[in-house]
Structure 1
Amino acid sequence: MNRLIAATAGGLLALFSMYWDDSLHTDVGRDTFWSAPHVLLYGSLMVTLAATAWWGIGRARSQGLRTTMADPLLRWAVVSAGAIGVSAPADEAWHIAFGRDAVLWSPPHLLGIVATFALAVTLLRAIATEGGGRPLVLGSGLVLAASLAPVMEYESDVPQYSAVWFLPAAATGLTFAIVLIRRFDPHPWAVTRAALVATAVRLAVIPVLAGLGHSTPIVPPVLVVALAADAVRRWRTSPWGLAPVVPLAVHAAYVPLLPLLPHGSTVAADQIVPSLLLSLGGSALVVLAAEGLPRTRLPVIRTAGLTVAALTLALPLLSAERAIAHDPGQGTEAGEAHWRTTARGSRIDVTVSPEPSASGRAVLVARRAGQELSAPLTSSGVGVYRGYVTVPESGRWFVYAAFRDAGASTTETWIPVEAGSSQLLHENRPLYVPPAPQKDGAGRTAATVALYGLSGVILVAVARSGRRTPLPQG
């Protein structure tokens, strides 16, 4: 059991590393592979995998190798470790073949997140198999915290896509975690206990990142969602009761709090209804994958349910545009730029002084959540450019200054700015030659389908793992 506790602690440390890495990208940009958060992330994952392997060896000694090899927990540990091992080289190969792609939902990044979630579920199952007890709370907390990793960029106000996808992604992930926690943790308040652990972890992350001078994520109000899920369990044992309850609780908790929380992406009033509908579809899809449809004598109902669920799954992939909010993968450094930036409500005024001096056309670009606004930069002296841009909403915007000379070469520099505030910034930022844009084509499409497909297969298999009994009729 101590080995599993060490593995779970390593998983929680890995989640902290992910938020640290995200804040570093937000404030500074992409760093080297050997940056502190990367080293901590891969080191903590190695601790988790090593402790899991140690646990497997212990089981082999006590139960025999043949029995241990037939254990589904060991197979899942191998699958999770293999997927984590594949995601890192796949990400590097992706950048080499198709260009920079720093969005969290890119196929290689999503595979790594899914593999980490699968490993967390494996640890929870292993703890339950070993007798549960207090360590089960830690395992459940890890699963719940890992389910929120896909919305990390929204939680730190770096939305790559429209905010309409924020709460559906959160509700779908939370539903997934809650179904599995209820499956492996019999305590009547299992989800609430897990939410307390996840909240404590986030409360520990924030002061550390603030002390390092980096942006911080929000503290998600998952405790409200957990209380609703546990309350529902008292009057409806079927997991299908979670399909409407979790999305409704997520929106009731998040929507009024997000405008009050620093560094959280808000959901506009006209996005609430589509957000709720997408959340209901995502949560129903999770329960369908985990438990199947309630038994019915009408095959048409089952077929219609499967069709709606499949369309719900495909909708985000079919409708989402290319992420252009922020790509911190700078290219070759070409100098330095001094920024003086003033945010007054929706207007952002900028003075940029690149060194060495730039010539030719200069443009100011502001990006957030799939939106891109451009404005001219006017030269007002040797190497000094001024301009402003008016943005349609508050929050963190990434403001770029791009300089294109007569030889058609381009250099750029960027800075994060909080619109809707009274912010004055004086900073020196790198001036760099941006890498080539992403390459589209059959190769990229095939790689996308393969990596997303692998992630989907793992998620479905995780959802159906460890089922003890068929779902009772609701």
Structure 2
Amino acid sequence: MTSIAAAASAPDVPAPRSDAIPWHVWAVLFAATSAVVGVIWDISWHRTIGRDTFWTPAHMAIYASGIIAGTSCGWLVLQTTFAGSEVERAASVRFWGFRGPLGAWLCIWGALAMIVSAPFDNWWHNAYGLDVKVLSPPHAILALGFTGIELGAVVMVVALQNRAGGGGGRGGAKPYGLLLAYGFGILLLNKAIMGFEYIGFPNSAHNGLYYEVCAAIFPLLLIAGARASSLRWPATTAAVVYIGVTLIMLWVLPVFPATPKLAPVYRPLTHMAPPPFPLLLVVPAIGVDLWMQRMGTGRDWLLAPLLGVTFLAALFVTQWFATKFLISPASENFFFGTNRWNYNSLPGDFEHRFWNIRNDPVTPLKLTVAAVLAMVSSRLGLWLGNGLARVRR
């Protein structure tokens, strides 16, 4: 029996019958966006108001992601299984007797994980109170769920792009290439949120762990998207999406009035706290795109170290100096949105200095570790991108 992975890359799949982007693609991309917007909103809710009812608007935005992705992809699977045309069935994979695109299956599994996490999260808060960390056990299950939806959206789009003749950067299928870059931008934002405790605030940018975390996570996504996309500047486009969505949330959330409801209150906030200013990933992303345009395909073992070192060098220089401005009083304005702290954090000099420099300084050894992580992440990104460039179902 043919495996799901092998079936997804089968070459004998017809191209899409029209240039119109299918409705289910818009549905899953909207669901992926709703998830990250809801999570940013929820973090702001906890920082501004505190622990509240399960039925907050932020929670509804998060779980709407699972409902939209699960129902739209569930309907797509049923339609393909029982009423699909030969073309639609040829562009699907079989699982438990049902047929649907591989991306739809990923979205369904992600939606199921999110459904499981909802009562678990509510029980966890009732039993243990406030979360000490962003990635508590129920939040980890939730994160796996909406990551599955985001990956499903990416796989669904890349399959359509490849069938239209645009896989692996070989031209054509530009609308799908743009949507693919958007999907990877949402994945970048997802991982930035998951690493919030380590890379979220500019005050951490002079720590060794900051660059190790960035080097391990971001090259994989930027490079996988660049290798799989039909665009000329896919990594740069994905980084712009990540920065753009974050900035929209940074500018919109403080417009809404809100006050703390849970003691102790050390800062009498009157409006929602925005997320921190995003990492300037567009700078290393430009370097990624330039190297991939120059080197092409077929030399991945040589390309991976070049990409890893370029990513880390560009990120290090950019963030090292940009964060000096972001922790200064000069950045305390509407555009940069800095110096907006939790209602329960005591005011102090920590606001305008780098944290934990004595215990975790940036040293040559730690930069070497970060460089190795970036190279490994880059090689994995090339491997993943090569696989995505072959997906057709």
What interval of TM-score do these two structures reach, taking the shorter chain for normalisation?
Answer: 0.5 to 0.7
Residue 45 to residue 73, structure 1, CA distance change in 2 (3 Å): closer
Indicate which of 323, 345, 354 corresponds to 1:258: 323
Q: 5+ unaligned residues in a row in structure 2: which ranges?
A: 1-21, 96-100, 162-172, 257-270, 327-337, 340-350
Asked if residue 122 in structure 1 is aligned to residue 162 in structure 2, the reply is no
| Contact 1:68 1:74 survives alignment (8 Å) | no
Residue 467 to residue 88, structure 1, CA distance change in 2 (3 Å): farther
Whole-Å separation in 2 of the counterparts to 1:242 and 1:119? 28
Indicate which of 294, 301, 306 corresponds to 1:235: 294
Asked if residue 136 in structure 1 is aligned to residue 195 in structure 2, the reply is no
Superposition TM-score, scaled by structure 2 size: 0.65
Indicate which of 39, 43, 49 corresponds to 1:28: 49
* Residue matched to 1:209: 253
Residue 271 to residue 196, structure 1, CA distance change in 2 (3 Å): same
Q: Relative to total residues, which structure has the larger strand share, 1 or 2?
A: 1
Larger radius of gyration: 1
| Contact 1:151 1:166 survives alignment (8 Å) | no
* Residue matched to 1:417: none
Whole-Å separation in 2 of the counterparts to 1:10 and 1:73? 13
Deviation at 1:227, TM superposition (A): 0.6
**1:46-100 superposed Cα distances (whole Å, 9 cap, x missing partner):** 2233333344445442334995425533432333233333433444565577775
Whole-Å separation in 2 of the counterparts to 1:111 and 1:242? 32
Residue 79 to residue 184, structure 1, CA distance change in 2 (3 Å): farther
| Contact 1:289 1:464 survives alignment (8 Å) | no
Give 3-state SS (helix, strand or coil) of 1:29's partner. coil
**1:289-321 superposed Cα distances (whole Å, 9 cap, x missing partner):** 5567xxxxxxxxxxxxxxxxxxxxxxxxxxxxx
Count of aligned positions? 300
Whole-Å separation in 1 of the counterparts to 2:209 and 2:319? 13
Residue 68 to residue 36, structure 1, CA distance change in 2 (3 Å): same
Whole-Å separation in 1 of the counterparts to 2:145 and 2:375? 22
* Residue matched to 2:345: none
Which structure carries more relative contact order (alpha carbon 8 Å, separation 6+)?
2
Whole-Å separation in 2 of the counterparts to 1:229 and 1:66? 32
Residue 251 to residue 9, structure 1, CA distance change in 2 (3 Å): same
Give 3-state SS (helix, strand or coil) of 1:219's partner. coil
Whole-Å separation in 2 of the counterparts to 1:290 and 1:194? 14
Indicate which of 45, 66, 70 corresponds to 1:49: 70
**1:206-227 superposed Cα distances (whole Å, 9 cap, x missing partner):** 1211112122221321111211
* Residue matched to 2:94: 69
**1:365-394 superposed Cα distances (whole Å, 9 cap, x missing partner):** xxxxxxxxxxxxxxxxxxxxxxxxxxxxxx
**1:350-373 superposed Cα distances (whole Å, 9 cap, x missing partner):** xxxxxxxxxxxxxxxxxxxxxxxx
Indicate which of 295, 298, 310 corresponds to 1:245: 310
Q: 5+ unaligned residues in a row in structure 1: which ranges?
A: 293-461, 470-474
**Amino acid of the structure 2 residue aligned with 1:43:** A
**Amino acid of the structure 2 residue aligned with 1:48:** A
**Amino acid of the structure 2 residue aligned with 1:243:** G
**Amino acid of the structure 2 residue aligned with 1:15:** V
Whole-Å separation in 2 of the counterparts to 1:113 and 1:166? 21
Whole-Å separation in 1 of the counterparts to 2:212 and 2:51? 28
Residue 109 to residue 186, structure 1, CA distance change in 2 (3 Å): same
* Residue matched to 1:272: 362
Residue 127 to residue 89, structure 1, CA distance change in 2 (3 Å): same
Give 3-state SS (helix, strand or coil) of 1:130's partner. helix
* Residue matched to 1:191: 235
Whole-Å separation in 2 of the counterparts to 1:275 and 1:91? 36
**Amino acid of the structure 2 residue aligned with 1:286:** S
- Cα RMSD (Å) of the superposition? 3.6
Deviation at 1:187, TM superposition (A): 1.8
| Contact 1:4 1:52 survives alignment (8 Å) | no
Residue 33 to residue 159, structure 1, CA distance change in 2 (3 Å): farther
Residue 248 to residue 59, structure 1, CA distance change in 2 (3 Å): farther
Deviation at 1:181, TM superposition (A): 0.7
Whole-Å separation in 1 of the counterparts to 2:185 and 2:131? 31
Deviation at 1:285, TM superposition (A): 4.1
**1:336-359 superposed Cα distances (whole Å, 9 cap, x missing partner):** xxxxxxxxxxxxxxxxxxxxxxxx
| Contact 2:247 2:278 survives alignment (8 Å) | yes
**Amino acid of the structure 2 residue aligned with 1:246:** F
* Residue matched to 1:12: 33
Superposition TM-score, scaled by structure 1 size: 0.55
| Contact 1:144 1:174 survives alignment (8 Å) | yes
Give 3-state SS (helix, strand or coil) of 1:69's partner. strand
Correspondences of 1:439-458 after superposition (within 5 Å): none
Whole-Å separation in 2 of the counterparts to 1:215 and 1:37? 13
Whole-Å separation in 2 of the counterparts to 1:272 and 1:10? 38
**1:89-117 superposed Cα distances (whole Å, 9 cap, x missing partner):** 44456557777543113343234324323
Whole-Å separation in 2 of the counterparts to 1:83 and 1:209? 28
Asked if residue 200 in structure 1 is aligned to residue 244 in structure 2, the reply is yes
Give 3-state SS (helix, strand or coil) of 2:195's partner. helix
| Contact 1:125 1:184 survives alignment (8 Å) | no
**1:256-313 superposed Cα distances (whole Å, 9 cap, x missing partner):** 1123222599464862236534433433443455567xxxxxxxxxxxxxxxxxxxxx
